Amino acid sequence: MVIKTSDDNRIFNIHTEGIPYLSFDVLDRLGVPNLFTTRYISYDAATGTGVKGLRLAVMKTESIREAGPIVKANRDILARQLGSSIEFECITDQKHTNYVHVVSKEDFGVPDPVTKPLHRRYVDGLVTDIPDVLLTAFGGDCPPVYIVDPVRKAVGLVHAGWKGTLGRIPEVAIANMVVRFGCDPKDMYAAIGPGVCKDCYEMGDEVYDMFAAQWSKKEADRLFSRYPAYDANGRRIYGGKYHLDLREANRMTLIRAGVPEDRITVSNVCTKCNVDTFYSYRAKRMENEQVAMLINRFDVR
C-alpha cells in the first residue's frame, strides 16, 4: 500500500490482514488498540493489489435500513480485528461542534447517530474511563485526535474539522477527562490522525477572521497562509486565498491543554493527497468515509 507522506518519519504501522488499516506506532507501543481505515476492503501486500470500496458509514444519499446492516457488519469486523466488537462501540455524529460526550453504558452498540436519543446527538467527541469501550469517529478530510491517559486508564477521541478546531475540541475533551476521571494532562499522550494538509485546505477570509477573533491575530497568522488561487474561469484571484493548517492548530490546542509536546504525534498523511487510498471531501471523492477507532484498553507488552 503506497501512501504519500510529508516526511520520512515512521508515524504509522500498516496492517493488511483482514480489512486493512493504519495504526499509530506510539499508541501501539502503549498497548492501546487503535486504527484509521482506508478505501480498501482487502489488500495483498505481496502483490501490491487490493479491493476498494469499503463502506463504514451510512451516507446522506443512502437508506439507513438498507445500508445500516452493511456498514455495521464492516465496523464489527474491524472491531474484532482490534479484539473487541461493535457491541462495545460508541460513535460520534460529525456535526462540526466542539461538544464532547462522556460515555455511559447506554451508549454502547448504537449503530447510527439517527437512532440515538436526541440528547446524545450532535456529538463530535467522546471520552471514557470504562474498560474495553470502543470509540469510533468518522471523517473524510477532518483529522481525528486520539487522547490516551495510561495512568487513569481513560481515553478520548474527537472529530476535529475546522469548526471543532476553532472551538478547541481536543481541549474540551481533556477538560472532561480531568474533571470526570481525575486525569492529569501531563500523563497523557495524543495523536492527530490523517486529514487534509495545509496545502490542500483552502479557506475563506471569514474563517481567518473567526480564528483571529476567538484565538488571536498572532495565532491566526501562524496557522493561515496566503496561496495563489484561481476562479472558475481560471483567472487568478488577487491576493490569493487563505489555507489553514489543521494539524498545527490541534497540536497547539493540545499543548495549551497541558499535554507534553514530546507526547504529541502528528500525522504526516494527507487524505486529499492520497485520494486513491482515502476518501476525501476536498477531492470530491466522498463515496464513503474513513473511521478512527480507539479502545480503552492497555495491553501489557
With a cut of 80, say whether residue 119 has pLDDT above it. Answer: no
Q: Write down the pLDDT at residue 220.
A: 98
Give the three-class secondary structure for 25. helix
Q: What is the pLDDT of residues 81-94, one digit of tens each?
A: 999 999 999 999 88
Q: Quick one: which of 157, 160, 158 has its CA closest to 295?
A: 157
Question: Distance between CA atoms of 278 and 282, rounded to whole angstroms?
Answer: 11
Q: Write down the pLDDT at residue 192.
A: 98
Give backbone dihedrals phi and psi of 292, rounded to 5 degrees, phi first: -105, 135
- Do residues 25 and 37 make contact, with C-beta atoms less than 8 angstroms apart? no
Pairing of strands 34-37, 40-44: unpaired
Q: What is the pLDDT of residues 266-281, one digit of tens each?
A: 999 999 999 999 999 9
C-alpha cell of residue 22 = 493504519
Give backbone dihedrals phi and psi of 13, rounded to 5 degrees, phi first: -105, 140
Q: What is the pLDDT of residues 123-144, one digit of tens each?
A: 999 999 999 999 999 999 999 9
In the chain, what percentage of residues exceed pLDDT 70? 99
> Domain 12-201+245-295 carries which CATH code?
3.60.140.10
Question: Distance between CA atoms of 250 and 266, rounded to whole angstroms?
Answer: 9
Q: Write down the pLDDT at residue 301.
A: 56
- AA letter at 39: R
Give the three-class secondary structure for 6. coil
Residue 220, beta-bridge partner list = none
Q: Write down the pLDDT at residue 300.
A: 64
Q: How many other C-beta atoms are found inside a 10 Å radius of the C-beta of residue 2?
A: 7
Question: Distance between CA atoms of 265 and 280, rounded to whole angstroms?
Answer: 22
- Residue 114 is given by DSSP the state G
- AA letter at 164: G
Q: Write down the pLDDT at residue 121.
A: 80
C-alpha cell of residue 259 = 499535554
Q: Quick one: which of 105, 129, 107, 135 has its CA closest to 179?
A: 129
Give exposure, 36-47, as e/b (b: 16+ Cβ within 10 Å): bbbbbbebeeee
Q: Write down the pLDDT at residue 117.
A: 78
Cell match 493488511: residue?
A: 16
Q: What's the whole-model pTM score?
A: 0.96
Contacts (Cβ under 8 Å, ≥6 apart) of 242:
202, 203, 204, 205, 207, 208, 224, 225, 226, 227
Banded model confidence at residue 21, pLDDT cuts 50, 70, 90: very high
Q: Write down the pLDDT at residue 122.
A: 87
Q: What is the pLDDT of residues 142-184, one digit of tens each?
A: 999 999 999 999 999 999 999 999 999 999 999 999 999 999 9
The region of weakest confidence among 236-240, 244-248, 293-297 is 236-240
